Amino acid sequence: MIKDLFTKKALAVVCAATLSVGSVAVAFAGSGEYELATSAASASASASAGPEVETTTKQEETTTKSTPSEKPSQEETTTKSTPSEKPSQEETTTKSTPSEKPSQEETTTATPSAKPSEEPSTDPVAVDTYQILGSFNNWALGSGLFMTQDSSNPNIYTATIKLAAGKYEYQIVKNNSWDYKFSGADGFINSSYPNLTVEVPEEMDVIFTLDLANMTVKTNLDKDIEDQADISAATVTLTSAAVTYNGEVQNPVVASVTLGAATLVEDTDYEVKAIEAKDAGTYTVEVTGKGAYKGTATAEYVINRKTISKATATVGAKTYTGKTLKSSSYSVKLKLNGKSVKLVKGTDYSVTAASGKNAGKYAVTFKGIGNFKGSVKANFVINAKKLAKKNVTVASKAVYTGKAIKAKVTVKDGSKLTTKNYKVTYKNNKKVGKATVTVTGKGNYTGTVKKTFKIVPATVKVKSVKNTAKKTVTVKFNKAKGAASYTVYYKVKGAKKWSKKVTKKTTLKIAKLKKGKTYQVKVVATAKSGKTTFSSADSKVLSVKIKK
């Protein structure tokens, strides 16, 4: 019995059954119990069914095959199986319907593929099958219920099943293949057409009707289209009609659907078409009538663009080169749902680049695009170039004057820089000794370079060199500024080595010279700073011949 093939359970039961009337099968998924309703003319438990096959028997013939064109002889009989008959024990190989009972003399009944014994035969014409599948049988092809073709209208296929109260989900496939799935007006194709549903208010026989002419599927629970109320004028209210883009899916939620004074019930009176709303824009929410209602009502759902006015924008800096520089590196970060998200140039924002030549700040404007709006600004910075020691040259010596001395300073970066780009300060630059020069960049340059220079006594001016006594020379010279002592150098003309005498006075006698020789004399002023002695430049060299 077909009824025995089904086990009554609430929720997720898997079943498969085949109706033998024609070639149709049905499987369902639902929340209630169910059982197959059959008449005395229903039922075999095959997983799939093809065209019905007629068999022809002859009392003394052991193997026969019928063809569509054969006419039975008087001794032959043609039978069509019924669900109530049971095959005899003597039948060894038979393809028949459950109602056929073969005779005792019949040992083999030919199938459509059997080889004819004498006359050539014509293969049976292929007949499309329509199978109803559901989660009760794990949607397994071949395990559903095959629908029966209406004898008076070949475009109509039906199947009847007794179902307990509950909501069921099902689908119809053609010729046992998901490549031919019921897809509404598109017919049977491989598509994402949603599963069909039926809601049963109480235990009852549910009749499913497939109309190939109109490509519709109805049940005896459906109201005629003329009796359904049209919900196209219904008011669809959303929990929130507008939200702001946040980088995540924000699907609309239907709060209510009202038609006049009536508030409709979701899944009973209408269904909501699923959409995925993430990007900024306007979406149409559709609700479609079902049960006592038909038509479609809509509501507008908006995801607004998010402003970037509070975004953190940065621009990559560059260093002064003396040439025009243009901004090229950007970063814009914005908080979305509490997280800092880096926006994408060209997708989330556009940028107006800035350019400049001198060190300083140049404004860059970012404008939101795509899911964003508004604008934000940031500075493109051209940093001043840091001065290096190689850029600075200072005169190594300066002559003591008694006043602050500013040694000559030259700053170059390729070409000579003007004082718009640096300033110079001095330290310990008045007394004889070591002075410090500090060059600090400004304008297009930055950084500090320190160098030193020497302050030495003034150069001595020699007044006279005379042979004033026997083998003696007297040297007279002026006092030099900054000098603390003087060193008098002398040698025989032509000699390489100088001899010297130190004095703090401006007159010095040199004795024990050689008569007849000519001597050369020069004077150098000296002064100490710390442990270091600083000397002036050499005085002019004077010559004297020793005659005495």
> Does pLDDT of 5 surpass 70?
no
What is the spatial distance between Cα 84 and Cα 98, in angstroms, rounded to a whole number? Answer: 7
- State yes or no: pLDDT of 496 exceeds 50: yes
CATH code linked to domain 462-545: 2.60.40.10
More confident residue, 91 or 210: 210
Sign of CA dihedral 34, 38, 42, 43: positive
Q: 215-228: per-residue pLDDT in tens? A: 999 888 876 555 67
Q: How confident is the model at residue 52 (pLDDT cuts 50, 70, 90)?
A: very low
R_g (Cα) of the chain, nearest Å: 57
Q: What is the pLDDT of residues 64-101, one digit of tens each?
A: 333 333 333 333 333 333 333 343 333 333 333 333 44
For 360-402, the pLDDT digits (tens) are 999 999 999 999 999 999 999 999 999 999 999 999 999 999 9
Q: Which residues have C-beta within 8 Å of that of residue 12, sequence separation ≥ 6? A: 29, 135, 136
The pTM of this model reads 0.52
% of the chain beyond a pLDDT of 70: 75
Asked which of 186-190, 227-231, 327-331 is least confident by mean pLDDT, the reply is 227-231
Judged by average pLDDT, the poorest of 91-95, 426-430, 465-469, 475-479 is 91-95
* Stretch 55-67: mean pLDDT: 35
CATH topology of domain 386-456: Immunoglobulin-like (2.60.40)
| Helix, strand, or coil (residue 15) | coil
pLDDT bin (cut points 50, 70, 90) of residue 123 is low
Q: What is the pLDDT of residue 184?
A: 85
Band the pLDDT of 162: cuts 50, 70, 90. confident
Q: Is the pLDDT of residue 38 over 70?
A: no
Find the mean pLDDT for residues 473-494: 96
Average pLDDT score over residue span 147-167:
90
Residue 122: its pLDDT value, please?
52
Q: How confident is the model at residue 444 (pLDDT cuts 50, 70, 90)?
A: very high
Q: What percent of the chain stands above pLDDT 90? A: 62
CATH class of the structural domain 2-47+127-222:
mainly beta
When pLDDT is averaged across residues 149-161 and rounded to a whole number, the result is 92
Distance of CA 125 to the CA centre of its chain: 56
Three-class DSSP category at 124: coil
DSSP 46-91: -S---S---EEEETT-SEE---TT----TTEEEE---TT----TT-
- The full DSSP string for 416-440 is EPPTTSEEEEEES-SSSEEEEEEEE
Q: What's the CA gap between 310 and 143, in Å, rounded?
A: 61
Kindly report the average pLDDT of the chain as a whole number. Answer: 80
For 263, the token pair is: 């508030």
89 vs 539, higher pLDDT: 539
Using the predicted structure, report yes or no on whether residue 55 has a pLDDT greater than 70. Answer: no
Q: How confident is the model at residue 300 (pLDDT cuts 50, 70, 90)?
A: very high
- In angstroms, rounded to a whole number, what is the distance separating the alpha carbons of residues 466 and 107? 164
pLDDT of 139 > 60? The answer is: yes
Range in 17-21, 401-405, 527-531 with the lowest mean pLDDT: 17-21
- Domain boundary assignment for the chain: 2-47+127-222, 227-304, 307-383, 386-456, 462-545
Judge whether 386-456 and 462-545 match in fold: yes
Query: What is the DSSP code (8-state) at residue 115?
Result: P
pLDDT higher than threshold 90 for residue 144: no
Q: Which long-range contacts (CB under 8 A, 24 or more apart) does 189-193 make?
A: none
Average pLDDT over residues 329-350: 93
The total number of residues shown for the chain amounts to 548
Distance CA 510, CA 471 (A): 8
**Higher per-residue confidence, 267 vs 127:** 267
The predicted pLDDT at position 386 comes to 96
CA distance 195 to 212: 18
pLDDT band, very low/low/confident/very high, at 29 (cuts 50, 70, 90): very low
Across 38-42, 287-291, 347-351, the highest mean pLDDT is recorded for 347-351
